[in-house]
Chains A and B, each alone.
Chain A
Amino acid sequence: MKDNNRNWVGKPLPRKEEGRLLRGRGKFADDIKIREMLYLRFVRSPYAHARILKVDTSRAEGLPGVVGTLTGKQIEPLTQPFIEIGPEPCAKIRDFPLAVDKVRYQGEPVAAVLAESPSLADDASELVQVEYEGLDPVVDAEQALKDESILHESAGTNKVWNGVFEYGDVEKAFREAAQIVNIDRLHFHRFSSTPLENNVVIGQWDPKDDHIYYWCNNSFPSFAIQFLAAHLNIPIDRIRVQTFDIGGSFGIKITSYPQMAVCALASKKAGGRPIKWVETRSEHMTASAHGNERTFRDTRVALDQDGVITAITSRHVDDCGAYPRYEPLGCVIWSQVFPGVYRFKNARIDFTQAMTNKCPVGPNRGYSRMQHLWFLERVVDICAHELGIPADQMRLRNYIRPEEFPYTTPNGCVYDSGDYPKMLAIAKNLIGWDEWKKKQAEARKQGRLIGIGIGTTLDSGTNNFGQSQIVNPHAPFSGNSQGANCKLDIYGEVVVAVGSCPQGQGHETTAAQVVADVLNISPDLISVRTGFDTERNVHTGFSGTYASQFAVSGLSAVHGAAQKLKAEMKRLAAFVLETQEDDIEFGRGAQGPELRAQTKGKSINYWGLANIVNVNSAVLPPEMHDITLNCRYIWRAPFKVPDTKKKYGNLTMTYASQLHIAIIEIDRDAFIPRILDYVAVDDCGTVINPAIVEGQVYGATAHGIGAALMETCVYDAVGNMLTSTFSDYTPITAMNMPKVKYGHIETPSPHSYSGAKGMGEGGAAPVHTISAALQDALFSSGIIIGDSFNNADTLFRAMVGREIYQADKLVKLERRA
């Protein structure tokens, strides 16, 4: 299926979306206004853990302009609890979109009010009186596992899932190790994505046809409707979801289905009036979704004489907040990158997930893999420093080698392609590695602290949903697929629809590039339907935009549909022009794109072909009646169901990689870490559109630098969220960004039709890189970096207070004779 024709794929074509989005002419969910629409505001819990004694909505209902209210008690008998993906006992959790008996995190919705205007809804929400009885909150995952205060009585435990991932011969590797490094505790912090546009839902349960209509910005609608149909007791075909332009998601908008459920139920109660809910920023920060927090305990690393890692054992505790929702998928998704970019064959990771009285987590850019990749990068840097091996050498000794691809990992994943040593060489060259090493040594003499850090990371894309069966053998999911449709409309327009819902990734442009090469026309002549619509019938159960996969799953589907259309056009043209199919050439004539019979000097344009099939069909013989010029194609990933007992199998199709280097200086009086130089080298296989890829690399780099130095979700001991506004959370802005030098290589993927790999999440490379650079600056002062979040205050407490990060307390090196 490889195309040789590459006029458009690979070109830095400006985005088709740009004119609309940059001129403020985008159409977003909140731009949609529907007659009779009501506005919904949630009443939220001020407590992290409390029993609900009474909800009194009478005063709110008495306010003129208020149409109704909704409480958890009212919706419980009308609905099924949301599907739980995990096995017993967490399958017994009863998750409703409004709290019924208890609240389990600050900001959890307890009731909803519906009013004629947004401000009236706000006023009414203040009049709902809720009586609570406080319960002991638990905000730390390891504490939660003691089950002293239980969040979900029906489950009887705060433990969501536990499993041991063991491969190779761990005991032997440790017996034979020349040196062993022990690391007491590492911690990956909780942060989130802060899309410019918050969650928005308009929901209508129309009594005229008993259908539910959604206009929203959910980023994985085919997943949402599976949850909603089961929850709301309605056939899934009666739920229509449309999305439009979306102002960023980064995964966080996958888990807006509870709010979607409330809008539908509220609409039903209001006689079918459409209900609009627009999330405020504070709601988004406290109660949409956060990224997973993870603690790594008792890590032991076996190494040979040369610093080659031979085995790792560790115990990981993941914190998923108050409800599992998309979890416990994160308990296996990290194992897509089990060994990271490294060659070690023996490992045992004991993985546990716990619930705490904090906002539920949701997939967040780099979801579940970045935590693990950060852990591995910390392991590599800590070992390198302990053993006195330069960080670049340590990596070269441990990287999977370019000649080993496709590389099968200890847990059966197949890394398609890559060349990490080459990326390292390019990055070192771009940053001026040798000069920085000299400057660093000079600076040390003057008492200045400069650190040079490397982060090598993976962005695994197009995942095998069969991995869900590793966490729950009864989970009815495996494989991956995407749908697309390509048609010639009646006047010959080429129209493409695809089951993705882009949030700035340029799908309209890259889909048009692919189709343009198949049909040999300009992308300008191709309309790509934007947004998602269940009624376009191009989605599968996996459709949406998430998990770095459009270049593979989305464009494979588009390519398949375009090929089908091309074949039909060719057949039809051969009939009309009275020639053989292989005589037909796709080209451009005086009247636009046309198909030519090369031997006959005759041609027919797109309008001519579309005319015959759509409105002039009597000219067609019966054997041509199967031609529709309206071609739907479902692409399926070639996956098998993994071996759930051994936790073995291929979990992802493509592995894009990133290699970043940061130079950071920490001043000795204000302790502010300053990035002096930064390089990002990317490999996402064959590039479809270099400008879009480069843009996404910058975006992911900014997000990662923000996460490493500025952005953290902080809770106090009783579960109050302390970072509920941007003033406290301080998302990164352009002012905080260093100049990023960009480089790239292309190792084409043998697994995708085009050689492309999914990208965009970026593996949180800056988080690993900045931790590495900070440690490089401070290791000689006896400090290792034990947390993924570091700011001036953290460094002050490590360097002056000596409260945290003390290497002599956290790391132990055993050398064997």
Chain B
Amino acid sequence: MYPRAFHYHRAGSLKEAVTMLSQLGEEGKLLAGGQSLIPLMKLRFANPKHLVDLNFVPGISYIKEDKGSLRFGALTRHAEVEYSATAAKIPIIHDCAAGIADVQVRNRGTIGGSIAEADPSGDWATVLSTLDTTIRCLGRKGERTIPLSKFITDAYTTALGPEEIVSEIIVKNPPKGSGGAYLAFKRSAPVYPTASAAVQLRMEGDVCEDAAIALGCVGLTAIKASQAESALRGQKISETTMNAAAEAARAAADPQPDMRGSAEYKRMLVGALVKRAIELAIRRARGEQVEVSHLYA
């Protein structure tokens, strides 16, 4: 179908977008890549009266290395991240960008839009919560930064104020000896994963010095599986410790049944993904170049 009629506003800067939002109030919605919003509007599930288009704002699409961090402009497309040599320095970020939906969607969808939407099935939040990530926001009262863990508060809910916009995503480079991997099972490329697992480890020899594990699509938000992390932290990695981490991940998951799978299956699956991601993360931590691809039906 065609979306319901709406007013279109083109912002020239993020500041102007904030002003527009504050004038339009609840009726205004931001349009970044349109990855989620446009299909929802075409199904008439979302019917905003006003759209504020960010696509013509200059200078908000970039990937920069700066003081031990990677900085992503809010409007950076998934495809730009996918093909960026800078972003590839943190391999798990490349895994994420390269596995989102299909080429057409990756060319449009943005990292900022994905984080701001906080869809429980989105990939970015899961991956970025295994890294030291902060979200820079711009509002009427100026700028602030919020750690990702405090930014997404519930399904489709963030700490953003009604007139606030995500302007930048800052990811600290992981320390030496780190490696990570992101794995999802998707029934077909364009659809959301059935479940996904992001694992970021710091290794010293065979011993895991630090671990971050996040689970996607099995709860209202990405789930930090802290018990699974504890199962690895300070341990020599073996089949037993990996199985313990996978088991802990299963316990942490809180999946709902839908067309993607039963709750029992998703719980089983997410454990399997965690285990496989751990294996890949270890190899990367050792400096191996490993190509990671999602699992497809």
Contacts and interface: CB of A to CB of B under 8 A. Distances in A.
B271 A792 contact: no
Interface stretch (A138-146, A218-226, A612-620, A730-738): A730-738
Contacts of B192: 727
B262 A669 contact: no
Interface stretch (B64-72, B128-136, B182-190): B182-190
Nearest to A674: B295
A123 B4 contact: yes
23 contacts: A41-B1, A119-B2, A669-B271, A669-B275, A670-B185, A670-B269, A670-B272, A670-B273, A671-B265, A671-B268, A710-B187, A710-B188, A726-B191, A727-B191, A733-B102, A735-B189, A735-B296, A736-B188, A791-B261, A791-B297, A797-B264, A800-B268, A801-B264
Contacts of A669: 268, 271-272, 275-276
B43 interface: yes
Interface string A724-747: 011110111101100000000000
A709 interface: yes
A726 B2 CA distance: 17
B114 to A, nearest CB: 16
Given A669-B272, A672-B295, A792 B185 contact: yes
A119 B5 contact: yes
A535 interface: no
A55 interface: no
B264 A796 contact: yes
Interface of B: 1-5, 43-44, 102, 185, 187-192, 194, 259, 261-262, 264-265, 268-269, 271-273, 275-276, 295-297
Nearest to B187: A730
B4 A793 contact: no
Given A670-B272, A671-B268, 8 more contacts: A667-B272, A669-B271, A672-B297, A728-B259, A731-B188, A733-B102, A792-B194, A792-B261
A393 interface: no
Interface string A524-558: 00000000000000000000000000000000000
Interface of A: 41, 118-119, 122-123, 126, 280, 282, 667, 669-672, 709-710, 714, 722-723, 725-728, 730-733, 735-736, 791-793, 796-797, 800-801
Top 7 A-B residue pairs of the complex, sorted by shortest distance between their CB atoms? A669-B272, A119-B2, A670-B272, A793-B261, A728-B259, A793-B265, A730-B187
Contacts of B189: 733, 735
Contacts of B269: 670-671, 792
A810 to B, nearest CB: 21
Nearest to B183: A670
B280 to A, nearest CB: 14
B190 to A, nearest CB: 7
B1 A280 contact: yes
A276 to B, nearest CB: 14
A155 to B, nearest CB: 33
A348 to B, nearest CB: 38
B49 to A, nearest CB: 14
A727 B190 contact: yes
Nearest to A794: B265
Contacts of A280: 1
Contacts of A791: 187, 261, 297
Residue among B190, B275, B276 with most chain A CB within 10 A: B190
Contacts of A722: 259
A797 B262 contact: yes
A118 B2 CA distance: 7
A490 to B, nearest CB: 47
A675 to B, nearest CB: 10
Contact of B265 (A725, A730, A733, A797): A797
B240 to A, nearest CB: 15
A461 B106 CA distance: 43
B185 A672 contact: yes
Residue among A41, A119, A735 with most chain B CB within 10 A: A735
Contacts of B188: 710, 730-733, 735-736
Contacts of A126: 44
Contacts of B271: 669
Given A728-B259, A730-B191, A801-B264, A792 B297 contact: yes
B258 to A, nearest CB: 8
Nearest to B3: A119
Contacts of A732: 188
A709 B262 contact: no
A65 B185 CA distance: 47
A717 to B, nearest CB: 14
Contacts of A123: 4-5
Nearest to A725: B43
Contacts of B43: 282, 725
A674 B88 CA distance: 29
Given A119-B5, A796-B264, A797-B262, A736 B296 contact: yes
